[in-house]
Each structure stands twice: as C-alpha cells, then as structure tokens.
Amino acid sequence: MRIRVSRNTLLLALALVTAAAVVFAQAGEKRMTPAKPANGAAMAGSGAKGKKVFDLQCAVCHYTGADAKKIGPGLKGLMKRGKYADGRPIDDASLKDWIEKGGKNMPSFKEVLKPEEIRDVVAYMKTL
C-alpha cells in the first residue's frame, strides 16, 4: 500500500515540527536557575518575570484585566480585595500555597513551576 502526501502537507508538518522545537528551546531557557545572592538571602520575586510565567501557565484560565470569571476567577485587584471567595485572607504566603497546592478546580503547579517562578507569579499578581 502506497500513501501519497501532498507537498503542502509536508511543508505544514515541517513548519509544525520547527515551531515545536522553538517552543521547547525557549522553555528550556526559561527554566535556567538564576544565581543566588552572595549573602544567601531569599530573592524577591520579579513581577516582569512573573507576567511571562503567568501568560504561559495561568492566562488560559484567568483574566488579569477584569475580575470576571474565565475558567477560574478574574484576578484584577485580587490583593486589594484582601480575601479569597471563601473568605480566607490573601497574602504572599497564601498565594504561594494556592499556586503550589491548587484548589477546588485549579490544578497544583508545584511540579510544573520552580520555586522562583512561583515567587515571580506572586510578585506579578500583586501588580494586578
């Protein structure tokens, strides 16, 4: 049995493989561990880096520019609200815990994100 594949199908397949290789290469660059401070102090999160991580991992379910629900709740003004929907207070530690452990309909990201990426996402969420 002989299978015929058009030239356009081959070009499309090549383009998809190339795009996938670029995405994986960029993901590898983002996972590089930053240098630790010389004094051993904990590094504060970076809102700019956190936005990049958020856009890749969280934006599919959460709006940042509105408090309207997407799949998960909108996060605009989250820190100003001061409380989760269930009434628990919002702070850096509770945000970190929520991201790591997940929640009712949110998966855990502890195995997906590195600790510094979680700190960066928390720093970014404080800017919303």
Q: What is the pLDDT of residue 45?
A: 84
Distance CA 95, CA 79 (A): 10
Alpha helices in 59-125 (DSSP H): 78-81, 92-101, 115-125
CATH code given to domain 47-125: 1.10.760.10
Among 64, 35, 66, 34, CA closest to 51: 64
pLDDT value of position 103: 85
Domain ranges of the chain: 47-125
21 and 43 Cβ atoms separated by less than 8 Å: no
Per-residue pLDDT tens listing for the chain (128 residues): 666 767 776 566 656 556 666 666 665 544 444 444 444 334 578 989 999 999 999 999 999 999 899 999 999 998 898 888 788 899 999 999 999 999 888 999 999 999 999 999 999 999 99
pTM of the predicted protein model? 0.64
Residue 17: the pLDDT is: 58
Please report, as a single letter, which amino acid is at residue 103: G
Q: Is 50 helix (H, G, I), strand (E, B) or coil?
A: helix
CB proximity list for 124: less than 8 A, separation 6 or greater: 45, 47, 48, 49, 50, 51, 53, 54
